[in-house]
Structure 1
């Protein structure tokens, strides 16, 4: 295949526009063949493509003139495809080495996926090396991932034989009579997304023994396709384990369990217990603050977007008041520097998420004065004028009145540099997904937060889904820079996710996602989210959701508005 190859009959050719350059290829050429012809122009592994804005696997045959945008492992979509494919190989290797074992993909940790191999004995470090060696053999064999469409009943039989009952139960809710499954060698499996053409594409991966499971590491988008250094996240890991305990209390494992409750109209108690677990945890945090012998006076709350920080802070204040403590809240937004003094980002735009968009000196001066029992006139930032204004009334607090500060930089000690660490109590909050679709298809934490934000932005900011999706990459970069590096510095972590929330958010999110036009650059992402939400039975009735629930921050009806 060559550019404008005169030897090929023009009637049997298609014109492909790639990076604004026109190429001609024989009709029926596969994307993989076209990608290989461009190898000299891309050193990073290509794993899929957008053909006229529709996501396609590399074994897709091109029959018409089109525009092609190839996706490498350094793109969000490409990274997901690579991860999904390497997990398939991991599962196959485990099942071959440990006959009768069951593999579960649990959650993300340290830029990898934490998985567990459930076997008649515990897995050790030597086992991890054996799994890695077998995976390397399978990759070297360059085994194809073949996709086939089979009846749902046949798929149930396959997964029942493998002991994957989460998949079997979920298929009960599939509306279509067929399902697409992949096969790699002898193993058949189902994933809610595409694969690479063959195992030979998966040359870079690593396994890390992380008792009692294994972390599967992949090339990282932000590292230009390199595998990052494994970093311990003991506090975050502990929160995920706590979520597993909550799942056992609620007697729920995968999405099918939740669907069963909703279909049988038994979700009421489930919702109330879920919310009670939240309330109990918040009360425990309030007790930790109240009972601390060092008298923690500055409570710092941080977390990524759509974590429910505002509602959490309000509920924590109530629990502190129950303990006889009268906290006060200060908004960091009121300490923004005047707009013209705001630092600029790499694109020359105002960077309102920069730590230095805050007047740190004035903020620390006021904070110190308050803790010393002095009267302070607090500022109010006027977002219309971009200027700071001042209140008339002064604020003075007593020694038993902690100050609550909530914001993206709250865990960064540079924000409160004048305050001794012994006076700080740091809380990290995030919606850390508690429920997976089945044994091998997890629900990324970022997807839960994204769905929350799509619903909230439409309800409160008049933003459609396209607007929210267009901002997401920038939001994620800010989180990676300003929030996640400090999460392990927290004294306590709070998981704001609720097991039932995606069933609830589905009815609001789906219509918004369906409005994303096929010409939009966010069309494939909207389709992915729609497919992901399709596994959930919608929870239509909101009557059981308390007005103090964190989810009320997104769906409306909050007692704190």
Structure 2
């Protein structure tokens, strides 16, 4: 065991196979800085006695400590969350006085598709604006500003987001059962995030911003923690997600808060029936397209396990049958071979 500090209350921290003593109240950040050179990627979170902790938290009792870096799944999420806050702050600095805000819409590849909004309408982003956004984000990173977290009463959070004009978050917290809310702050810019953050903007060196459709994509590292992934547009995925959002706007349930309002108003059945009608309309349009493209023998349906492929195939079959075709759906699940029967 190594004794590092004397003359004050001590705690014993086990890191790997070694035990060290530290003064009670030492931060995880201070300990992480001692061990950073042993890790290829940046340490961003701590695991203390099997409990996840932000690095700014302090150690008050004996325990076992390990670190999570940006190459770990949970560390990556904290990094992405923090870069998103960084981007929001940069947008606020650049265009907040013009009442332009930013909305994170969809996850596409290794990035988030975002849109600038003013008075409920999307603002077309230009390459000049992209350049300004990158420059401001870089400035904030170089300033190494602290990312602070504090807890407030839920009613106080509702009042805060009302004052900030964040109506979607205001609605969201009206249905929150927990009495406390964690708010993150970056240089006086406040927002709510579900999950942990890195200690400061100086950690956020790997990201990129590229224009896409009417907005932009905030890009993150992928498998390599210190290399931003190249953006590969996926238009089909984008427009599928956009159509889903358009359906939500059509039904006035385009946010979780609005969805909660609709459920509380007893509109659950109406929402389900409307979504079913919209979905059936899309299947009918797909069937029409298949009929027009003569000569099609096979229609392949791909998707994750339990995503509804079989159900969808039967609904499509009904639409095709209604147009005079004779479809025969069959699931490939029936053609799996047990591992012990597979040849080497």
Q: Deviations for 1:121-142, whole angstroms, at most 9, x for unmatched residues?
A: 5321110110111011111111
Q: Secondary structure at the match of 1:226?
A: coil
Quote the residue 1:137 is aligned against: 139
Say if 1:307 and 1:338 are closer, same or farther in 2 by CA, change over 3 A.
closer
Quote the residue 1:70 is aligned against: 67
- The CA distance in 2 between the partners of 1:266 and 1:337, in whole Å, is 46
The answer to whether residue 128 in structure 2 is matched with residue 126 in structure 1 is yes
The answer to whether residue 210 in structure 2 is matched with residue 237 in structure 1 is no
CA RMSD of aligned residues (A): 2.1
1:159, CA displacement in angstroms?
A: 1.8
Quote the residue 1:213 is aligned against: 215
Q: Deviations for 1:138-172, whole angstroms, at most 9, x for unmatched residues?
A: 11111111112223333233322322100111111
Pairing of 1:138-537 with structure 2 (within 5 A): 138-220=140-222, 222-293=223-294, 295-337=295-337, 339-340=339-340, 342=342
Say if 1:269 and 1:21 are closer, same or farther in 2 by CA, change over 3 A.
same
Q: Secondary structure at the match of 1:265?
A: coil
1:4, CA displacement in angstroms?
A: 0.8
The answer to whether residue 48 in structure 2 is matched with residue 48 in structure 1 is no
The answer to whether residue 113 in structure 2 is matched with residue 111 in structure 1 is no
1:96 paired residue among 93, 98, 112 = 93
1:328, CA displacement in angstroms?
A: 1.8
Say if 1:6 and 1:198 are closer, same or farther in 2 by CA, change over 3 A.
closer
Q: Deviations for 1:85-140, whole angstroms, at most 9, x for unmatched residues?
A: 11111111111111211110101112100111114853211101101110111111
Aligned residues of 1:207 and 1:217 also touching (Cα < 8 A): yes
The count of aligned residue pairs is 339
Structure 1 spans left out of the alignment, 5+ residues: 345-561
Quote the residue 1:5 is aligned against: 3
1:316, CA displacement in angstroms?
A: 1.6
- The CA distance in 2 between the partners of 1:182 and 1:234, in whole Å, is 33
Q: Secondary structure at the match of 2:46?
A: strand
Say if 1:338 and 1:77 are closer, same or farther in 2 by CA, change over 3 A.
closer
TM-score, structure 2 length as denominator?
Answer: 0.92
1:310, CA displacement in angstroms?
A: 1.9
Quote the residue 1:405 is aligned against: none
Q: Secondary structure at the match of 1:89?
A: helix
- The CA distance in 2 between the partners of 1:130 and 1:337, in whole Å, is 56
Quote the residue 1:39 is aligned against: 36
Q: Secondary structure at the match of 2:290?
A: helix
Aligned residues of 1:145 and 1:183 also touching (Cα < 8 A): yes
Q: Secondary structure at the match of 2:151?
A: strand
Aligned residues of 2:5 and 2:23 also touching (Cα < 8 A): no
Say if 1:52 and 1:342 are closer, same or farther in 2 by CA, change over 3 A.
farther
Quote the residue 1:479 is aligned against: none
1:260, CA displacement in angstroms?
A: 1.0
Q: Deviations for 1:405-425, whole angstroms, at most 9, x for unmatched residues?
A: xxxxxxxxxxxxxxxxxxxxx
1:200, CA displacement in angstroms?
A: 0.9
TM-score, structure 1 length as denominator?
Answer: 0.57
1:334, CA displacement in angstroms?
A: 4.3
Say if 1:51 and 1:306 are closer, same or farther in 2 by CA, change over 3 A.
farther
- The CA distance in 1 between the partners of 2:136 and 2:323, in whole Å, is 57
Structure 2 spans left out of the alignment, 5+ residues: none
Aligned residues of 2:5 and 2:21 also touching (Cα < 8 A): no
- The CA distance in 2 between the partners of 1:274 and 1:192, in whole Å, is 28
Aligned residues of 1:105 and 1:116 also touching (Cα < 8 A): yes
1:275, CA displacement in angstroms?
A: 1.4
1:314, CA displacement in angstroms?
A: 1.9
- The CA distance in 2 between the partners of 1:7 and 1:109, in whole Å, is 49
Say if 1:68 and 1:343 are closer, same or farther in 2 by CA, change over 3 A.
farther
Aligned residues of 1:73 and 1:219 also touching (Cα < 8 A): no
The structure carrying a bigger strand percent of its residues is 2
1:336, CA displacement in angstroms?
A: 4.0
- The CA distance in 2 between the partners of 1:104 and 1:118, in whole Å, is 7
- The CA distance in 2 between the partners of 1:310 and 1:187, in whole Å, is 47
Say if 1:317 and 1:69 are closer, same or farther in 2 by CA, change over 3 A.
farther
1:338, CA displacement in angstroms?
A: 6.0
Q: Deviations for 1:51-71, whole angstroms, at most 9, x for unmatched residues?
A: 222221111111122222311
Q: Secondary structure at the match of 1:14?
A: strand
Q: Secondary structure at the match of 2:300?
A: strand
Q: Secondary structure at the match of 2:246?
A: helix
Say if 1:325 and 1:243 are closer, same or farther in 2 by CA, change over 3 A.
same
- The CA distance in 1 between the partners of 2:250 and 2:258, in whole Å, is 13
